[in-house]
Amino acid sequence: MLKTQEYYREILSKPFDFNEKETFELDGDKRSYAKNDAELKDLWRKYLKYETLNRVIDKMEAQEAEPTANAEIPKKSMEELEKEAREATLKSYDDLFGRLQKVKRSDRFGDFLNAISAMYDPHTEYFAPIEKQNFDIRFSGRLEGIGATLQTQGEYTKVSSIVVGGPAWKGKELQENDLILKVAQGTDGEFQDIGGMVVNDVVQLVRGKKGTIVRLQVKKVDGSVKMIQIVRDLVQIEDTYVRSLLLDSPNGEKAGYIYLPSFYASFDDPNGRFCSKDVAAELEKLKAENVDGIILDLRNNGGGSLRDVQRMTGFFVESGPVVQVKSRDSQPEILKDVDTRVQYTGPLIVMVNTLSASASEIMAAALQDYGRALIVGNPTFGKGSVQRFYNLDNGIPNNPEWQPLGEVKITTQKFYRINGGSVQLKGVTPDIVLPDEYQLIEVGERQESHPLEWTQIPAVDFSQNVFRIKNLEDLKRKSKARIASDETFRKVAQNAKRIKDQRDATLVPLNLGEYRAQETAFTKSGEAFKDFYPAEANKNVRNLPADLAAINANESDAARNGEFLKSVSRDIYLRETLQILHDLIKQ
C-alpha cells in the first residue's frame, strides 16, 4: 500500500498532458496483469489521468454554464482547471488511503477468508460480529439502538439519516448532518473521543440494548457543540416490511397490490415480525375490499426466510409440496404447505425481475409449477442454494478473551422446484416476459466467477384445484401485441441496446478533445431516453382505508407514503400487469 501511495502522490505532483493520444481500458478483466513495477506505475498513471480528466471536464462544463451576468469574471485557464482537478484527485486518494490504513487486522483477515471461499461458492463467507449484526438488521428490519444511520466524513462520523419512529427521531435533538465527536455509555460513563475511528467501531459504541442510555457529543451544522442523551429502543425499519394498495385495472376491475421487498423474519423473537404473518394480514384486508384479483410484487426481492416462503405459498393452494431441499449426499427433503386452508382463491399474478432471488424464486417457481399464478416480468437472478450460519464461538467455548469471533455463512444445500428442476443459474423464466432496460446485460448468478452448476432431481407429485391459468398462449399474445404498440416499451427496448453499447465501450481515450467528444455523443444519445416514463401510468392508486390512520399519524410517514404512491402510479410494468390481470379475470 505504501508503494502505491508513493506512486499516486508522485504522479499527481505533475501536470497531465491531455493533448497526448493514448487510451485506457476501464474493464479490469480485459487488462493484462502488470509484469513489473514499471507497468504497474504506468497503469496507475493512466487511471489517475482518467479520473483527473473527468474532473477537468466537469469544471469546464460548470464554467461554460455560468450565467452571462458573470461574463466580467475572467474564466480560469486550462492550466488552472487541470491543477484544481489534480488536487481534487489527490485529496480523494489521500482520504481513501487514510481509511485503508485504519482497517483492522481482523477486517483484513475476513477479506482473506472471503477471497478463498469465493473461489468455491459465491455465497459462502465469513461475517465479523458487526457484519453479522448488520445482516440480521437487514433480514429482520429491526435493531436495538438509537435509529440513526452513520457514515464517515473525513476524520469524523456524520449522521446521514434518522429512522422515522426511532429514539433519535422522537427526541428531535439529533439531526441529519450532525457530526459525532464523542460517545459515552450510561448517565455517568466517560466520553470516548471517536475522531479518526472507523464507522463500524463507532456503530458498535452507539448501538446497545433496549432501555440503556448512550450520550453523544455532537457538532451541529451551525458549529455549536451539544451533548445529547438518548435511551436506546427497538427500531423498526418500515421500508423493509410489506405494503398493500388498491389499484384499478384499465377496464375497471379492482385489483389488490402487495409489495414485498424481502422475506423478512425475526427468528430471535417469536413475537417479532414475520413476512408470512404480515402478508396473511394484507390478504385479509384486500379480501375485505372485495378485490377482483391480486398482484404480488417480488421485484428486487433478494430473498430471506425459507420457512416463510413455505407458509406463504400455502396461502394460495390447498396442500402439497412447495420446494425440495437437498444436501450433497442425502435424499431430498420436501417442504410442504403447513395447513390445508386457502387464504386467497382468486386470480393471482406474481411480478419478478432479474434481482428477484432465492426465496423469491422458490415462491414464483412453486406457484408457476402448480399453475396457480401467472408469473410476469423478467428472468430471475438464479440463486438456487441454501446457506446456514455457524457461530465460531462454539468452536472454542469458555474462552471469552477470544470472543466474539463472528460467524460463517456456508452453503449446505440446493433447493429444487417441485417439478425437479433447479433455479440455479437459470432462474425462473416468467410466463409473460416484459422488456427491460438491462435485458442485454449479464446479471445475476451467471455473473459470478465460480457459481454452483445447474442440476436436476426427480419431480414430486403436486396438484391444486383452487384456480387454474387457462389459455396461457392467448394471454401472451395479447400482452405481446400491447407491448409492440406501446411507445414507452419501445423506448425501453431501444434504451437497452444503448446501455449495452455504452457499457461495452470500455476503451476510453485520454485525449481531452476525443474523450469529450465521446462523452458528448453518449450524453446526446441518452437525451432521447431522459425521463421517458409517463407521469401517470396507473390512475386511482390508493391506500386501503384500514391503513390511513396509521399512515397519517405523522408527517414523515405520510410523506414517505406519498412517494410510494407516486412511484407505483408511474410504473409501466404494473400498468401492463394490470392489463394482463384483466385478461386473466375475463377468462
Q: What residues are labeled active site?
A: 358, 369, 383
Cα(54)–Cα(489) distance, rounded to whole angstroms? 33
Cα(257)–Cα(249) distance, rounded to whole angstroms? 11
Cα(25)–Cα(61) distance, rounded to whole angstroms? 24
C-alpha cell at 285: 384486508
Listed in sequence order, the residues at least 6 apart from 3 whose beta carbon sits closer than 8 Å to its beta carbon are 37
Measured over the CA atoms of residue 468, residue 471, residue 472 and residue 476, the dihedral's sign is negative
Q: What is the CB neighbour count within 10 angstroms for residue 121?
A: 16
Cα(27)–Cα(24) distance, rounded to whole angstroms? 9
Amino acid at 306: L
What is 185-223 written as a DSSP string? Answer: ETTTPPPEE-TT--HHHHHHHH---TT-EEEEEEE-TTS
Cα(295)–Cα(328) distance, rounded to whole angstroms? 36
End-to-end Cα separation, the chain, in angstroms: 66
Strands (E), 191-320: 192-193, 213-219, 225-231, 233-236, 243-248, 254-259, 293-297
Give start and end residues of each alpha helix (H) in 118-274: 129-140, 167-171, 199-206
549-581 in b/e form (b: 16+ CB < 10 A) is eebeeeeeeeeebeebbeebbbbbbbbbbbbbb
C-alpha cell at 436: 427491460
SS3 391: strand
DSSP code, position 340: S
Cα(146)–Cα(157) distance, rounded to whole angstroms? 15
Residue carrying C-alpha cell 409440496? 321
Which of 168, 167, 166, 182 lies closest to 218, judged by CA? 182
Q: What is the CB neighbour count within 10 angstroms for residue 170?
A: 15
The answer to whether 186 and 205 are in contact (CB under 8 A) is no
Cα(430)–Cα(377) distance, rounded to whole angstroms? 6
